[in-house]
Amino acid sequence: MSATRMHGHVDPRFAPIREMLDGFLVRDPSLSAQLCVHVRGERVIDLVGGESLDHDSVTGVYSATKGIAALTIARLLDSRALALDAPVAEHWPEFADAGKDRVTVGDLLSHRAGLPILDDVVPLDELTSSAPAAARLAAQLPLWVPGTAFGYHGITIGILIEELVRRVEGRELRDAHEAEIRAPRDADFFIGLPASEDHRYVDVRPMRPTEEQAAELASRPQGDPVLTRMFANFEAGDEWSESGVSTNNPDVRRAGPAGIGGVGSARGLARLYSDALPGAERPIASQETFAAMRQMRSWGIDRTLGVPNAFGTVFMVPQPRQPFGSHRAFGHDGGGGALAFADPETGVAFGYIPVPMQYPGGADPRAVAIAREVRALASA
């Protein structure tokens, strides 16, 4: 079977999507990709192509993990164990230190708390076992007055989510995800990949930019101390200096940090987002809860990343820089190019994972183009 052609199932209504992906593979022989799409509970696209991936492959998806971690938050909101307008300190009293007593759960989970980095570089095990890092954040003075600005908490929002789950449920997020989200649906997405699944794991591979793309990357403004620290907060040690907080490091893969450490397939992503849509077979939470979570809380120039961004509660929502769905869509991308979301307007649940990492960072632009075409075909 040719590595430059997609293989798998496509409903005839969505045949143009296979043609799009075939074209991408022909134009970029280094690309491998998985794509899975459900529409109103029916799997209508299940494709894979390229030399590095097959249907059963799993790999790291970086920040697309945040959207899956948000499903546990949705479950807690739905049960009223959490409330978006409640102070975080109601569940986590130590968090009230340094003027954070009035920070709400909603502000914390929409990148508005002013805690995008730790003040100190700490050992990696404070990420893989995040309670110590959470204690540091609880004691820390925010970089900005909470609620007055927003900036992407690239890794720390995962630590904050994990601590909230510990405080509310008394267990680790990865255990809650396994018991309540993944296992009941036999979904191929893990927050904490078991060693028994390692044989399916495909390494995250570095971006291969063209000369023009490399020049653009080199021309980006350098030196923002917040952005620099965000991805250098954890000391991985010499053995894992190259993979660092990547899931290529087995300690990270096994722990599954909620900000960046999920491992799975496009099938797994689409399966889970499908149960966030109206009419789901096994609904994760009510549509009222997901509507509250997709309500935009942060919009504008992201203080951390320096680009336009838009967030609800944990979830990214569509905006002009990344128009992946309707105004009702919610999901998350990943630094390697992954994109996953649910769109109640069209009934689409979408999962896409590429290898290697894709320019320019965040969602692969090809994923956004595919998503827009899927939306058009689903709406026809």
Q: How confident is the model over 278-310, as pLDDT tens digits?
A: 999 899 999 999 999 999 999 999 999 999 999
Proportion of the chain above pLDDT 70, given as a percent: 97
Residue 267 within a domain:
yes
* 2 found inside a domain: no
**Comparison of pLDDT for 244 and 70, the residue scoring more:** 70
The DSSP-derived string for 72-139 is HHHHHHHTTSS-TTSBGGGT-GGGGGGGTTT-BHHHHTTT-SS-SS-SS-EETHHHHS-HHHHHHHHH
Residue with tokens 């059963």: 56
Higher pLDDT, 241 or 208: 208
How many whole angstroms separate alpha carbon 188 and alpha carbon 199?
14
Give residue 240's pLDDT.
43
Q: Could you list the residue range(s) of the whole structural domain that residue 52 is in?
A: 7-379
- Burial class for 115, CB neighbours closer than 10 Å (0-12, 13-18, 19+): buried
300's CB contacts (< 8 A; 6+ apart) are: 150, 308, 309
Provide φ and ψ at 47, rounded to 5°. -125, 150
The overall pTM is greater than 0.85: yes
- Domain assignment present for residue 1? The answer is no
What pLDDT shows up at residue 237?
62
In CATH, what number is assigned to the domain containing residue 269? 3.40.710.10
Helices (H), 112-224: 125-128, 131-139, 156-169, 173-176, 211-219
Domain-located, residue 241: yes
Span 230-238, mean pLDDT? 78
**pLDDT at residue 104 in the model:** 98
Judge whether residue 97 has pLDDT over 90: yes
Average pLDDT estimate for 166-191? 98
pLDDT band at 241 (very low <50, low <70, confident <90, very high): very low
What is the SS3 assignment for 37? strand
How many domains in the chain?
1
Predicted local confidence at residue 244, as pLDDT: 61
How long is the chain? 380
- Band (pLDDT 50/70/90 cuts) for residue 3 is low
d(CA 216, CA 364): 16
d(CA 90, CA 102): 10
The per-residue pLDDT of the chain, averaged, comes to 94
Residue 90, in any domain of the structure? yes
Whether the per-residue pLDDT at 327 is higher than 90: the answer is yes
- Would the pLDDT of 60 be above 80? yes
Of 25-34, 214-223, 235-244, 279-288, which range is least confident? 235-244
Least confident segment among 104-118, 268-282, 352-366: 352-366
Q: How confident is the model at residue 1 (pLDDT cuts 50, 70, 90)?
A: very low
Confidence of residue 359 (pLDDT cuts 50, 70, 90): confident
Beta-strand runs (E) in the chain: 7-10, 32-39, 42-49, 58-60, 122-123, 189-190, 201-202, 234-235, 263-264, 298-301, 308-311, 330-333, 339-343, 348-355
The position carrying tokens 């995962």 is 158
Q: What was the pLDDT predicted at 2?
A: 52
pLDDT reported for residue 142? 98
Asked if residue 204 belongs to a domain, the reply is yes
Please state, in angstroms and as integers, the Cα–Cα distance from residue 142 to each residue in 7, 97, 112, 113, 197, following that order.
49, 10, 10, 7, 39
CB atoms within 10 A of CB 152: 23
